[in-house]
């Protein structure tokens, strides 16, 4: 049986005047996987601070300041990005006054691609 690593991306785009702080569940892991990078982008306002959670645990040790006009990125350290099968990923706006926020998580799935739902 051939195994291949596959990267999937889960993201959310939020708008508001400004975007409210909060957590938005976006994905349930079908198999064990790892968040390999978190990206943040914002427009309008003076800033936006973002992170992600697996269950109740933050993915990044330090929150990410979303870039204006370009994506800012950060990599989880240690085992912070590990997700068990069935774990829920939530993307979080921690603070800021941006009118648009985009948060994206890149997730590596190490499983037989034919077995994924």
Q: Full-prediction pTM beyond 0.85? A: yes
Q: Convert the pLDDT of each residue in 26-51 to its tens digit.
A: 999 988 999 999 999 999 888 899 99
The confidence score (pLDDT) of residue 87 equals 96
DSSP 8-state secondary structure symbol assigned to residue 20: P
Confidence of residue 18 (pLDDT cuts 50, 70, 90): very high
- Residue 64 maps to a domain: yes
- Residue 77 maps to a domain: yes
- Residue 109 maps to a domain: no
Q: Exposed, middle or buried, 108 (CB in 10 Å: 0-12/13-18/19+)? A: middle
As for how many domains the chain has, the answer is 1
Which residues form the domain of 26?
A: 10-99
Q: Convert the pLDDT of each residue in 49-88 to its tens digit.
A: 999 999 999 999 999 999 898 899 999 998 999 999 999 9
The residues, any chain, with a CB within 8 Å of residue 90's CB and separated by 6 or more, are 23, 24, 25, 26, 52, 53
- Residue 90 maps to a domain: yes
């Amino acid at each position: 049986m051939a195994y291949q690593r596959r990267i999937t991306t889960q993201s959310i785009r939020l708008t508001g005047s400004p975007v409210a702080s909060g957590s938005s569940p976006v994905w349930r892991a079908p198999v064990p996987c790892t968040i390999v990078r978190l990206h943040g982008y914002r427009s309008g306002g003076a800033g936006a601070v973002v992170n992600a959670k697996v269950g109740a645990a933050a993915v990044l040790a330090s929150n990410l300041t979303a870039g204006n006009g370009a994506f800012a990125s950060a990599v989880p350290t240690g085992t912070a990005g590990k997700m068990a099968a069935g774990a829920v990923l939530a993307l979080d706006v921690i603070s800021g006054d941006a009118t648009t926020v985009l948060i994206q998580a890149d997730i590596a799935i190490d499983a037989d691609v034919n077995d994924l739902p």
